[in-house]
């Protein structure tokens, strides 16, 4: 798994914008703190993808929809994904324990630039947010 120095800008773009990894996603990805919002969880999951952190991705996925494993390409491998950026378009509470986040993630893989726009559903249980599922937008 890739590691980021705590002082670099967070891969998710930061909350607030430009925040360091240590001040943004690191406390959630490391498990020291639960993500306070569905958006923070989604950003930390994007960061976990950039790190190749399968355990965090699975732990933050709701048990009702969680796969048994993920097939992540190791970061930095010649044909693996190189993550380029994240844009959050919308974060909406759908109830006290539900939310949706719409975002676009960009990456380069096998020499090709790619992008994915998804509207993801999240649920909060026992004070912790979990990713439930997402619907991809046709690009």
Q: Quick one: CATH architecture of 26-137?
A: Roll (3.10)
* CA distances, 28 to each of 16, 81, 131, 135 (Å): 15, 22, 14, 24
Q: Could you report the per-residue pLDDT of 79-117, keeping only the tens digit for each?
A: 567 889 999 999 999 999 999 999 999 988 888 999 999
Q: Which is higher by pLDDT, 98 or 74? A: 98
Q: What is the share, in percent, of the chain residues with pLDDT greater than 70?
A: 93
Query: Residue 116 — φ and ψ, nearest 5°?
Result: -140, 130
d(CA 68, CA 110): 26
Is the model more confident about 138 or about 51?
51
Tokens of 107: 């990456």
CB 42 within 8 A of CB 20: no
Averaged pLDDT for residues 125-134: 97
The mean pLDDT value for 21-29 works out to 95
Q: What is the pLDDT of residue 75?
A: 56
- Please state, in angstroms and rounded to a whole number, the distance separating the CA atoms of residues 56 and 78: 24
Average pLDDT, the chain: 90
Q: What is the enclosing helix (H) or strand (E) of 56? A: helix 54-59
- What is the structure's pLDDT at 71? 81
Could you tell me the pLDDT band of residue 74, with boundaries at 50, 70 and 90?
low
pLDDT for position 17: 84
- Cis peptide bond N-terminal to 127, omega within 30: no
């Amino acid at each position: 798994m890739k590691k980021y120095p705590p002082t670099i800008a967070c891969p998710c773009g930061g909350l607030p914008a430009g925040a360091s990894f240590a001040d943004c996603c690191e406390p959630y990805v490391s498990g020291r703190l639960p993500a306070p919002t569905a958006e923070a969880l989604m950003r930390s999951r994007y960061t976990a993808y950039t790190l190749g952190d399968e355990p965090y991705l699975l732990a933050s996925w709701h048990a009702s929809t969680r796969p048994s494993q993920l097939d992540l390409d190791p970061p930095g491998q010649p044909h693996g994904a190189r993550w380029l950026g994240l844009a959050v378009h919308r974060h909406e509470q759908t109830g006290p324990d539900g939310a949706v986040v719409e975002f676009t993630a960009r990456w380069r893989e096998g020499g090709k630039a790619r992008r994915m726009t998804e509207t993801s559903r999240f649920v909060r249980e026992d004070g912790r947010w979990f990713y439930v599922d997402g619907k991809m937008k046709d690009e």
